Structure 1
Amino acid sequence: MQIIELLTPHYEVAWLPWAVQYFFLVGVATGAGLLLSVCAFGQAGGALQRLLPVAVLTLAVSGLAAPVSLLADLHQPARFWHFYAHMTPWSWMWRGAVLLPVFMGLLVAMCASWWLGQARWLRWLAPLMVLSALSITVYTGAEMMVVRSRPLWNTMWVPVNLALTGWLAAVGVALVVERFLPAQLRPDARALQALRAIGLWLAAALVVVAVLWALSGLLGMSPSFNEALRLVQEFPVWRMTMIGSAIFGAVVVGALLRGKQRLQAKGFTLVLGLGLAAAAWAFRWALFMGVQGVPKFGAGLYLYHMPWGGDGLLGMLGVAGLCVALVAMATWALEVFPARSPRVA
């Protein structure tokens, strides 16, 4: 009898959970930036105008927390300087290093414009924010799409899905943080319904994209879909993750559909918002960490165990704590130094 022993070497994952936090937060920030840009042109007293404060708070919190996760993912924050000292314009990471400070500058300018009651400045900055938010969306999606060794990532559907889930998460985060705004700045029923409508349109777009992705795979135009089927068939962990994510996403979208009469109910917006944000985060966890557990070549699994320290659970809790602290600081500042005018006239 011949015994053949297969040895699978232990490989560390290339992208740590910090990447999940960064891609989640930057997706929320771009969605909030687009929402703020649209609301800047809302009519005085209208639903969009009433969403301005929550859009500002969502943008400020997610936009300021995202670079922290990015620097942590670089392992050595000083490496960020290398992007500027050594020009590599063919690299999407280098392009991101150029685009991200522009986005951050516009973020600060737009939040300050709202706080100072400068409606005209806000409207002038809005088109620039739209372009900057879309550029960040393209760069973050392309960072994954260009990885040819992972067929599941190497498709244009990845940037589209990252964008739509990130913007849907922005709706969820907005539903959460609006509860912490001063009473005079909280959105009314019409504004909450407008936010819910935006979430429904984004959810519908995700369904359409999923159908188109499946059709492109069945027609032999998208190896990514075939890779997804292979992962589901061959790896039980991936199968459980995908089934769980699909069920969770369906439940959250169902709550969004049935939320028309419940948005004013105590605690409903909090649960719905957390569900939307958690669904987008779980999608990124499966896409980043789950796929890295599947070997690029050969057999076996690349086993990954969540560390308890800064590169794992403690780091994720730290980012969540940072977001809570930023919300607390912002709401305190709005109480002590209220915005000059919450209206755009």
Structure 2
Amino acid sequence: MQIIELLTPHYEAAWLPWAVQYFFLVGMSTGAALMAAWGVWSRPESAAGKALPLIIVLLLVTVVTAPVSLLADLHQPARFWHFYAHFTPWSWMSMGAVLLPLFVTLSLGLCLAWWLGSRRWMRFLAVPLVISAASIVVYTGAEIAVVRARLLWNNPWVPVNLALTAWLAAVGAALLLTLWVPAGRDVAVRAWLGKLGLFMSLALLAVASVWMASGYVMQTPSFREALELYTNFPIWRISLWLSVALGAIVLAMWLRPGWWLESKAMLVLLGVAACAAAWGFRWALFMGVQGVPKYGAGLYVYSIPLGGDGLMGIIGVFGLCVAVLTAVLWALEHKERVLS
């Protein structure tokens, strides 16, 4: 009997948890930008118009913290300058170095216009902000989908799933903000967010169904790769069924607004579940997929470090979000006290 030993080299993960944080926050900021534009062009007495203050808060928090995660993911913040000194328009990452600052500037401009009470400037900025948000959705999705060496990434459904899960997280985060922003106490605002969340969940279900059906019929490389992982590796089976269970719970809650509309505990559960689903999808997409060898068999075992490139970095980014949110809520409270 002959024994053949196979040796697999250890590779460091190219995408660190910083990337998960960046794609999570910047995706939510695009969702907040779209909802903010909706509120700006709606009547002030409508649900979307009443929700504008809490959407502005969400937009401000996410658009400030997302670039911090991106700079951390570059390991050396000075590398950001290289995108301008050596601009390569055929690279989506290089294009992002132009599109992201424009999006951040327009978002901060809309927030400032709202703070000053200038509806005219808000409407003026809302249109280019929507276009800019769409460009961020395209650039972040394409940055992943163009990687041909990763079969699970290299398919047109990845950008769509990134967008829909990000917007679902934006709705979930907005629901959580209704507990602190006075405008969110209006039941009509929460009901409006619930309808948006239901739409996003149904859209995700439709996209997943189309991907599975088309993949099975046409035997696409991404579907075959996913099927192989599901068949051969228990961790992927567990992750899939946990995702299905979480998605079913979230969808059931959207369908029954009476479960959460008047209950703070259930509202928190729904908001956290929506955000966790989006964040978990990005963790599986970036960190889990990197565990699949580009060539060869088996899985690369990734253990999350405890330092800045791992657990502390994740906690730090969410801590930054809490700090910015606290400052924004304090400023809103101070403004209302002065006006009253």
Task: With the length of structure 2 as denominator, give the TM-score of the two structures.
Answer: 0.97
Distance 2:291 2:46 in 1: 49
Give the alignment's Cα RMSD to 1 decimal: 1.5
Conserved in 1, the CA contact under 8 Å of 2:184 and 2:190? no
Map Cα deviations across residues 176-224 of structure 1 (whole Å, 9 max, x no partner). Answer: 122122x3x3341111101100111111111111111112112216321
**1:303 Cα deviation from its structure 2 partner:** 1.4
Conserved in 2, the CA contact under 8 Å of 1:213 and 1:222? no
**1:292 Cα deviation from its structure 2 partner:** 0.7
Question: What is the aligned partner in structure 2 of residue 320 from structure 1?
Answer: 318
The aligned amino acid for 1:235 is F
Question: What is the aligned partner in structure 2 of residue 38 from structure 1?
Answer: 38
Conserved in 2, the CA contact under 8 Å of 1:51 and 1:187? no
**1:264 Cα deviation from its structure 2 partner:** 2.0
Question: What is the aligned partner in structure 1 of residue 290 from structure 2?
Answer: 292
Conserved in 1, the CA contact under 8 Å of 2:15 and 2:286? yes
Question: What is the aligned partner in structure 1 of residue 67 from structure 2?
Answer: 67
Question: What is the aligned partner in structure 2 of residue 262 from structure 1?
Answer: 260
Distance 1:163 1:340 in 2: 39
Matches within 5 A, 1:107-146: 107-146=107-146
Distance 1:14 1:226 in 2: 24
Matched, 1:171 2:171: yes
Distance 2:204 2:184 in 1: 29
The runs of 5 or more residues in structure 1 that have no matched partner are: none
SS state of the match for residue 219, structure 1? helix
The aligned amino acid for 1:174 is A
Question: What is the aligned partner in structure 1 of residue 96 from structure 2?
Answer: 96
Distance 1:22 1:320 in 2: 11
Distance 2:305 2:142 in 1: 28
Matched, 1:304 2:302: yes
Distance 1:121 1:255 in 2: 37
Distance 1:113 1:204 in 2: 34
Distance 2:193 2:108 in 1: 23
Distance 1:286 1:239 in 2: 12
Query: Which has the larger helix fraction?
Result: 2
Task: With the length of structure 1 as denominator, give the TM-score of the two structures.
Answer: 0.95
Distance 1:105 1:340 in 2: 27
Map Cα deviations across residues 146-179 of structure 1 (whole Å, 9 max, x no partner). Answer: 0001111101100000000000000001011221
Higher relative contact order (CA 8 A, sep 6+): 1
**1:59 Cα deviation from its structure 2 partner:** 0.5
Conserved in 1, the CA contact under 8 Å of 2:161 and 2:207? yes
Conserved in 2, the CA contact under 8 Å of 1:116 and 1:340? no
Distance 1:219 1:212 in 2: 10
Distance 2:13 2:31 in 1: 29
Matched, 1:213 2:229: no
Conserved in 2, the CA contact under 8 Å of 1:32 and 1:59? yes
**1:260 Cα deviation from its structure 2 partner:** 3.7
Distance 1:210 1:261 in 2: 26
Q: What is the percentage of aligned positions where both structures have the same residue?
A: 56
